Amino acid sequence: MLLRASAEANEEEIGIEGVMDDSKESQVPDGMLLGEFAEAVVRRDPDLAAVRERMVEAMGPEAMVDAAAVVANFQRMVRIADGIGIPIDESWRGFSADLREDLGVAEFASSANTPG
């Protein structure tokens, strides 16, 4: 939702499907590389150093550090929420229902925390 709202505020087009489907282009600048980086961090990929190097080459060291901070913070928040079973806020359930359906997030184990 935030990505979509940010794109609308900046009058940019995005393909939100690219978040969950590598075969689809998100139209986010360096989106494929950012996705690869996030996956490498989360999965503790042995090739993380090489992905970091590609990020620095493509986007610069500051962008790589910013991306690492976003990935780390998101991981922290998700782990806390999953650990204590926090559901999606009721106010977001209806608002985000179509997006959650489109992205297939019901496939994640943590979706059990949110009533249908």
24: in domain: no
94: in domain: yes
Residues 6+ apart with CB under 8 A from 95: 1
User: Considering only 6-20, 33-47, 56-70, which range has the smallest mean pLDDT?
Assistant: 6-20
25: in domain: no
Q: Is 22 helix (H, G, I), strand (E, B) or coil?
A: coil
93: in domain: yes
Number of domains, the chain:
1
Domain of residue 109 covers 32-113
pTM for the whole structure: 0.66
76: in domain: yes
pLDDT tens-digit readout, 33-61: 998 999 899 899 999 999 999 999 999 99
pLDDT tens-digit readout, 89-100: 888 788 778 878
Report the percentage of the chain scoring pLDDT > 90: 28
